[in-house]
């Protein structure tokens, strides 16, 4: 039973344009969400997070939006750069076990020069 | 700050053989995790340690997988005997025991992983 879903396995965008990566979840107990970025042959690295008390968090070119009623979050990258090409994982945890994360299957982003 | 170290980086074995992976977490991180990432899927938690005690091993196939964390630092994950479906990347991660500011949780720090191929 996959509680965090990323339905787009891949996404291709032009350099300078916006990249939008989507994530859906089913567990209403999730109260914290993170995005990880993964390059080939490396482990995932933390990118940005959002608490359920917020609906938006911004860090430079990266913004995460949370829609609790729809159980949906998205990661916006503006402007996209070739170095952003990687696999992006969405992850979620609950308030009662905040160290246990459930991961989506990932979206491979390709930013074309 | 040194990151999470894992070895070996790659391993190829035949089915029914045994294999072991090693992980050294970030210094001071009390919580250690082992994940299995099958190609095209996200990381799946196998086992979570808090110091040297097991917090969650509900998804660990205990008939063939075992893990230990001696002295609350390094950890090993063993598979015996291996099956074809065990082919995956095995990721180790660590985190602080508590997040002082939960509004800025950074989750876990991952090692580079061990890519296991079972033939």
- Quick: pLDDT tens for B100-114: 445 456 678 999 999
Asked if the structure places residue B75 within a domain, the reply is yes
- CATH number of domain containing B9: 2.60.40.10
Asked if the structure places residue B114 within a domain, the reply is no
Q: Which two tokens stand for residue B92?
A: 């180790």
Domain layout of chain A by residue ranges: 4-112
- How many domains are there within chain B? 1
Q: Please give the mean pLDDT across all residues of chain B.
A: 90
Which of these, A44, A8, A79, lies nearest to B95 by C-alpha position? Answer: A44
Strand partners, B48: B33, B56
Asked if the structure places residue B41 within a domain, the reply is yes
Chain B closest-CA separation from residue A41 CA (Å) = 6
Asked if the structure places residue B102 within a domain, the reply is no
Does the pLDDT at position B99 exceed 80?
A: no
Does the pLDDT at position B97 exceed 90?
A: no
Q: Tell me, what's the pLDDT at A98?
A: 76
| Interchain CB contact of A35 with B (< 8 Å) | no
Cβ contact A96:A30 at 8 Å: no
DSSP state of B80: S
Average pLDDT on B77-92 reads 97
Q: Tell me, what's the pLDDT at B100?
A: 44
Q: Tell me, what's the pLDDT at B2?
A: 77
CATH architecture of A4-112: Sandwich (2.60)
Q: Which residues 46-65 on chain B approach chain A with CB closer than 8 angstroms?
A: 48, 55-56
Domain of B56, in residue numbers: 5-96
For chain A (113 residues), the mean pLDDT of every run of 10, in chain order, is: 91 98 96 93 92 94 97 98 97 84 95 95
Q: Which residues of A touch B40 (CB under 8 A)?
A: 9, 105
Q: Which of B7, B105, B106, B114 to mutate to test the interface with A (most CBs of A within 10 A)?
A: B105
CB contact under 8 A, B48 and A51: no
DSSP state of B101: -
Sole residue written with tokens 């979206």? A107
Does the pLDDT at position B65 exceed 70?
A: yes
Q: Tell me, what's the pLDDT at B101?
A: 45
Strands (E), chain B: 5-7, 10-13, 19-24, 31-37, 44-50, 53-56, 65-68, 75-79, 88-95, 109-110, 114-118
Lowest average pLDDT, out of A9-18, B18-27, B68-77, goes to: B68-77
């Amino acid at each position: 039973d996959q509680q965090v879903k990323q339905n787009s396995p891949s996404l291709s965008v032009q350099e300078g344009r916006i990249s939008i990566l989507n994530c859906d979840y089913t567990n209403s107990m999730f109260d914290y969400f993170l995005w990880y970025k993964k390059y080939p042959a490396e482990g995932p690295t933390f990118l940005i997070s959002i608490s359920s008390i917020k609906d938006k968090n911004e860090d430079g070119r990266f913004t995460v939006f949370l829609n609790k009623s729809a159980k949906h979050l998205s990661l916006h990258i503006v402007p996209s750069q070739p170095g952003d090409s990687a696999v992006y994982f969405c992850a979620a945890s609950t308030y009662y076990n905040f160290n246990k994360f459930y991961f989506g299957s990932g979206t491979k982003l390709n930013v074309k020069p | 700050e040194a990151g999470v170290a894992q070895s070996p980086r790659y391993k190829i074995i035949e089915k029914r053989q045994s294999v072991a992976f090693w992980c050294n977490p970030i210094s001071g991180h009390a919580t250690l995790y082992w994940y299995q990432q099958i190609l095209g899927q996200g990381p799946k938690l196998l086992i979570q340690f808090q110091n040297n005690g097991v917090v969650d091993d509900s998804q660990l196939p205990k008939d063939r997988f075992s893990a230990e964390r001696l002295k609350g630092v390094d950890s090993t994950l063993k598979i015996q005997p291996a099956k074809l479906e065990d082919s995956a990347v095995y990721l180790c991660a660590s985190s602080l025991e508590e997040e002082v500011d939960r509004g800025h949780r950074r989750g876990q720090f991952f090692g580079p992983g061990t890519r296991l191929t079972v033939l």
